[in-house]
């Protein structure tokens, strides 16, 4: 008999850890098995699958249900008003009521596996007689999301809240991201989970998507490179990732039903490309299909997407899981190659069994789904019997979070070197609610349960600054009182509390502080998350009048005393800045940097760290300028049966099933591809970001003036300023547009210098491949590099090209032909140049 030992270390006191018990778990033969039965890890996987009953197979491809760990305090709060798990009606939104929970043996199994890592989003079924343990899947992506305390165990189980994905991408530093991944993966491992549900790599199609903070960029190349580094970092710890949400899931409005109507070219070049890169460069253990439909088919039911593209075209080796309750037809999901249905319901297993018996589902397909799950399970720490500690090194990980936080902040404006604050600034006046109630990350499943979060004022004090105390008291009192008066939002424990309107500060107070302190900091905060999109309104995309007048009045008063005014943007997604950016001296885009927020911001404004982040997403002048503005978030379709789902209208927006559609008319012109091609001015362009030093570019060299198989591009960067710093060097390509439309520029490579001291230089080398030259031709389903002259443009942003050169491609090259897939069912009125 094959046995594995799992040692469980449990916390008994806040400071000490005592080995309570050594639990010998037999992963095999719990009960009535005979030695003849195949065992996972000993027998070949195919043999194990052959030894499974149909019922067991159907059970393995559906998760063990959603078990929401809701703290007692929240349950008590829910009892007194709206905001329960099901809102009005009190139904758990993830579990349709009245469904049979299977037989008692099944229920006992479910009860057993649910005990693993409380607060995880889901678990797969275990089948002890075949040596098949459960697999624990937990969110993601800004850190591991599990319950921080447990009813039946002492101690705490906090995880590190790392900076949000958008900040991480703004570092353009794949080595840093790998480090963050290592730390995050280590917490997954040490808390006993197997797979983290992230990273998220949907494209920032529109700044209002409520989950943009969980995603990296408007550009698929940046997205793919950063995601690959993250997956490699996490998986280096022996745990898995689930890259999500595959694909074209770029909004929260009607997320369960929306039909994304999009061209094959935009899919291949924009919405799938980041996933292609991450699959081919880092082989994530799993992929999570998204909720939406693409061109009429749910992604989880799309054979085109999950088999032809993901596996046949890209060579994905792992398994695909649904998003939680995604799609409707379990049989179609199995056939499509969506191997695991999460969180899983017995009725889905029952339907799969029935379909096999009735000949609607070939058992060979089901076998393949099971095989894929088992192949990944074999690599998992739980299968290997890893002895987890429940004690990751949170202190070391906090340091990683702090450093990553600083490296992804973007200095948007720095008039007369207002930053760093300098020796003479010791006492600060901090304005803005979020200087005190800092936002460390977004809401929903991407929210991490961290042990603490450092507010801006705490970070400042930690670094020896003094912060005006009476202002602090006034803000904290105002925030507390306003919160107490606000009605609770439905689903507040998932969607967060509604924001507290910015406090109005009296002119006399500002005047007094302008006299008494050395500089003013004004924090503007925004939050959003799973379940709803943002609005192009004051208080969200736009600043409110109170915020604008706060910036204006504080600037007037402090400037009249010769003192600096710094605005700090504590936001998860893009906001409008054009109408007020001229006012303050400096603007630091801090994003939402995780639990170390206040320390990270202080590191940058004090000059301890020289900012080196660059925008991975454009800041447009106004919302109307956004290419997808008129097609976001689409429309709800006329009454149909789906509207008649009882109680549907009363469900929170993210659980409603109203048929809807969105048409991606902007096509490939997303982000800077649009603004640059159509000469639309922007507030801050893609790739932009200042430093406390300056850089010079020199000696751009191409390996040849004719393109053969590859081209090498070298460029030299010198720190021409006075302090040490790092530069993100970007390489854009302008391609000939003979047959196909081409964006004015496309990012094809980037690199970040090492820390360069004043006067130091570094030569960076980039390889340009055939792929980089190619565009997707729908007529032939192939990637084609058109003959002609290509321009290489290098510089610090997508609108600041320091050096350019060109090369020639003699003849068209067909770089690769792929599956004809995901064809739209109707004409799309696409934006185009020709």
Q: Which CB sits closer to ligand BGC, 343 or 584?
A: 343
In contact, 196 and 188? CB cutoff 8 Å: yes
Which one among 197, 239, 272, 321 touches ligand BGC, defined by CB under 6 A?
197
DSSP 710-761: EEEEEEEEEE-SSS-B--EEEEEEE---SSS---S-EEEEEEE---BPTT-E
In contact, 801 and 793? CB cutoff 8 Å: yes
**Residue carrying the six token digits 């912060």:** 467
Q: Give me the sheet containing 319-321, strands edge to edge.
A: 122-123, 136-139, 195-197, 240-246, 286-289, 319-321
- Using CB under 6 A as the binding rule, the residues of this chain from 75 to 104 that contact ligand BGC are none
We find the least distance from the C-beta atom of residue 528 to ligand BGC, in angstroms, to be 14
Considering only the C-alpha atoms of the chain, give the largest distance between any 2 of them, rounded to a whole number of Å.
Answer: 87
Cis-peptide into 140, omega within 30 deg:
yes
Q: HSE on the CB side for 669, CA within 13 Å?
A: 22
**Whole-angstrom Cα distance, residue 109 to residue 86?**
26
C-alpha separations of 76 from 89, 92, 118 in Å: 16, 16, 20
In contact, 617 and 410? CB cutoff 8 Å: no
- Using CB under 6 A as the binding rule, the residues of this chain from 106 to 125 that contact ligand BGC are 121
**Whole-angstrom Cα distance, residue 791 to residue 803?**
10
We find the least distance from the C-beta atom of residue 94 to ligand BGC, in angstroms, to be 8
Q: Which CB sits closer to ligand BGC, 217 or 249?
A: 249
In contact, 747 and 219? CB cutoff 8 Å: yes
The dihedrals phi and psi of 162, each to the nearest 5 degrees, come to -80, 170
Q: Which CB sits closer to ligand BGC, 57 or 145?
A: 145
**Whole-angstrom Cα distance, residue 307 to residue 68?**
32
In contact, 467 and 517? CB cutoff 8 Å: no
Selection from 708, 718, 680 nearest residue 799 by Cα = 680
Size of the site for ligand BGC (CB under 6 A): 9
Q: Which CB sits closer to ligand BGC, 244 or 752?
A: 244
Q: For residue 830, what are its two tokens?
A: 């696409």
- Using CB under 6 A as the binding rule, the residues of this chain from 734 to 763 that contact ligand BGC are none
Between strands 297-298 and 564-570, the pairing is unpaired
- Using CB under 6 A as the binding rule, the residues of this chain from 286 to 325 that contact ligand BGC are 323-324
Beta bridge mates, 588: 411, 568
We find the least distance from the C-beta atom of residue 323 to ligand BGC, in angstroms, to be 5
Q: Which CB sits closer to ligand BGC, 197 or 340?
A: 197
We find the least distance from the C-beta atom of residue 242 to ligand BGC, in angstroms, to be 7
**Whole-angstrom Cα distance, residue 290 to residue 297?**
11
- Using CB under 6 A as the binding rule, the residues of this chain from 437 to 476 that contact ligand BGC are 445
Task: Please tell me whether residue 139 binds ligand BGC under the rule CB under 6 A.
Answer: yes
We find the least distance from the C-beta atom of residue 121 to ligand BGC, in angstroms, to be 4
**Residue carrying the six token digits 């670094």:** 463
We find the least distance from the C-beta atom of residue 428 to ligand BGC, in angstroms, to be 38
Between strands 813-817 and 782-785, the pairing is antiparallel
62: DSSP letter:
B
Which one among 114, 244, 268, 799 touches ligand BGC, defined by CB under 6 A?
244
Selection from 118, 120, 182, 164 nearest residue 145 by Cα = 120
Q: Which CB sits closer to ligand BGC, 408 or 652?
A: 652
Q: Which CB sits closer to ligand BGC, 323 or 772?
A: 323
DSSP, collapsed to helix, strand or coil, labels residue 291 as: coil
Q: Which CB sits closer to ligand BGC, 45 or 197?
A: 197
Helix (H), strand (E), coil (C) string for 234-245? HHCCCCEEEEEE
Beta bridge mates, 817: 782
- Using CB under 6 A as the binding rule, the residues of this chain from 521 to 580 that contact ligand BGC are 530
C-alpha separations of 329 from 320, 349, 370, 657, 721 in Å: 15, 11, 18, 15, 61
We find the least distance from the C-beta atom of residue 159 to ligand BGC, in angstroms, to be 15
We find the least distance from the C-beta atom of residue 138 to ligand BGC, in angstroms, to be 8
We find the least distance from the C-beta atom of residue 145 to ligand BGC, in angstroms, to be 8
Q: Which CB sits closer to ligand BGC, 319 or 688?
A: 319
Binding string to ligand BGC for residues 661 to 700, with x set by CB under 6 A, is what?
----------------------------------------
We find the least distance from the C-beta atom of residue 493 to ligand BGC, in angstroms, to be 13
Give Cα 648 distance to the centre of its chain: 28
In contact, 83 and 493? CB cutoff 8 Å: yes
**Whole-angstrom Cα distance, residue 401 to residue 600?**
9
Active site residues: 323
Q: Which CB sits closer to ligand BGC, 443 or 527?
A: 443
Task: Please tell me whether residue 204 binds ligand BGC under the rule CB under 6 A.
Answer: no
Q: Which CB sits closer to ligand BGC, 304 or 530?
A: 530
- Using CB under 6 A as the binding rule, the residues of this chain from 404 to 433 that contact ligand BGC are none
Q: For residue 693, what are its two tokens?
A: 């030093």
- Using CB under 6 A as the binding rule, the residues of this chain from 597 to 636 that contact ligand BGC are none
We find the least distance from the C-beta atom of residue 141 to ligand BGC, in angstroms, to be 8
We find the least distance from the C-beta atom of residue 692 to ligand BGC, in angstroms, to be 37
Q: Which CB sits closer to ligand BGC, 197 or 270?
A: 197
Task: Please tell me whether residue 241 binds ligand BGC under the rule CB under 6 A.
Answer: no
Q: Which residues bind ligand BGC (CB under 6 A)?
A: 121, 139-140, 197, 244, 323-324, 445, 530
């Amino acid at each position: 008999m094959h046995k594995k030992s799992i040692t469980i270390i449990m916390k008994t006191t806040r400071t000490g850890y005592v080995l309570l018990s050594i639990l010998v778990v037999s992963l095999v033969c719990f009960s009535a098995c005979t030695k003849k039965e195949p065992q996972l890890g000993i027998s070949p996987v195919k043999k194990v699958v052959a030894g499974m009953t149909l019922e067991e197979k159907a059970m393995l491809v559906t998760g063990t249900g959603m078990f929401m760990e809701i703290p007692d305090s929240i349950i008590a709060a829910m009892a007194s008003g709206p905001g329960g798990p099901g809102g009005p009606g009190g139904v758990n939104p993830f579990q349709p009521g009245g469904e049979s929970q299977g037989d008692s043996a099944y229920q006992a199994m479910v009860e057993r596996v649910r005990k693993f890592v409380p607060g995880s989003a889901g678990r797969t079924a275990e089948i002890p007689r075949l040596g098949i343990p459960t697999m624990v899947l937990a969110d993601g992506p800004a850190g591991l999301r599990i319950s921080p305390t447990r009813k039946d165990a002492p101690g705490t189980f906090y995880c590190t809240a790392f900076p949000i994905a958008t900040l991480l991408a703004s570092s353009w530093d794949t080595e840093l991201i790998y480090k963050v991944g290592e730390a995050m993966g280590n917490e997954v491992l040490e808390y006993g989970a197997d797979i983290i549900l992230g990273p998220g790599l949907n494209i920032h199609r529109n700044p209002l998507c409520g989950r943009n903070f969980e995603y990296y960029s408007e550009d698929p190349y940046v997205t793919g490179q950063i995601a690959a580094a993250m997956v490699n970092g996490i998986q280096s710890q022996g745990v898995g990732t689930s890259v999500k949400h595959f694909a074209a899931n770029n909004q929260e409005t009607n997320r369960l039903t929306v039909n994304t109507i999009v061209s094959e070219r935009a899919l291949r070049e924009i919405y799938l490309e980041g996933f292609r890169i991450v699959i081919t460069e880092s082989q994530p253990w799993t992929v999570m299909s998204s909720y939406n439909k693409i061109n009429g088919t749910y992604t989880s039911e799309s054979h085109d997407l999950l088999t032809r593209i993901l596996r046949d075209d890209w060579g994905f080796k792992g398994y695909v899981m649904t998003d939680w309750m995604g799609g409707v037809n379990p049989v179609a999901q199995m056939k499509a190659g969506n191997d695991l249905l999460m969180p899983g319901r017995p009725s889905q297993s029952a339907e799969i069994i029935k379909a096999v018996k009735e000949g609607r589902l070939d058992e060979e397909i089901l076998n393949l789904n099971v095989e894929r799950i088992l192949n990944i399970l074999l690599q998992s720490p739980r299968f290997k019997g890893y002895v987890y500690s429940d004690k990751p090194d949170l202190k070391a990980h906090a340091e990683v979070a702090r450093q990553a936080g600083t490296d992804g902040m973007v200095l948007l404006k720095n008039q007369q070197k207002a930053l760093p604050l300098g020796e003479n600034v010791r006492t600060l006046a901090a304005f803005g609610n979020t200087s005190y109630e800092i936002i460390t990350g977004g809401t929903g499943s991407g929210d991490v349960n961290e042990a603490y979060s450092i507010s801006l004022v705490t970070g400042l004090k930690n670094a020896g600054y003094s912060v005006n105390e009476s202002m602090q008291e006034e803000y904290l009192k105002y925030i507390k009182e306003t919160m107490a008066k606000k009605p609770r939002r439905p689903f507040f424990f998932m969607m967060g509390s509604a924001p507290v309107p910015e406090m109005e500060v009296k002119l006399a107070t500002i005047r007094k502080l302008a006299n008494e302190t050395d500089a003013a900091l004004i924090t503007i905060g925004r939050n959003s998350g799973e379940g709803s999109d943002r609005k192009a309104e004051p208080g969200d995309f736009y600043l409110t009048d109170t915020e604008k007048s706060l910036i204006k009045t504080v600037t007037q008063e402090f400037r009249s005393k010769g003192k600096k005014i710094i605005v700090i943007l504590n936001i998860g997604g893009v906001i409008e800045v054009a109408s007020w950016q001229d006012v303050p001296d400096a603007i630091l885009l801090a994003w939402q940097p995780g639990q170390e927020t206040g320390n990270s911001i202080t590191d940058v404004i004090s000059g301890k760290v020289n900012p080196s982040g660059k925008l991975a997403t454009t800041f447009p002048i106004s919302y109307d300028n956004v290419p997808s503005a008129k097609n976001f978030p689409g429309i709800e379709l006329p009454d149909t049966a789906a509207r008649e789902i009882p109680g549907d209208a009363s469900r929170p927006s993210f659980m409603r099933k109203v048929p809807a559609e969105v048409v991606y008319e902007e096509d490939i012109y997303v982000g800077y591809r649009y603004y640059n091609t159509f000469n639309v001015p922007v507030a801050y362009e893609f790739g932009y970001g200042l430093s406390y030093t300056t850089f010079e570019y020199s000696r751009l060299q191409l390996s040849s003036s004719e393109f053969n198989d590859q081209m090498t591009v070298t460029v030299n960067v010198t720190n021409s300023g006075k302090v040490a710093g790092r530069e993100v060097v970007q390489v854009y390509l302008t391609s000939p547009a003979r047959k196909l439309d081409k964006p004015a520029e496309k990012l094809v490579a980037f690199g970040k210098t090492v820390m360069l001291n004043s006067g130091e230089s570094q030569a960076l080398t980039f390889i340009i491949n055939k792929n980089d030259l190619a565009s997707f031709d729908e007529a032939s389903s192939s990637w084609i590099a058109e003959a002609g002259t290509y321009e290489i443009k290098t510089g610090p942003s997508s609108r600041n090209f320091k050096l350019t050169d060109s090369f020639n491609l003699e003849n068209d090259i067909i770089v690769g032909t792929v599956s004809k897939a995901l064809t739209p069912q109707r004409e799309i009125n696409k934006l185009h140049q020709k």
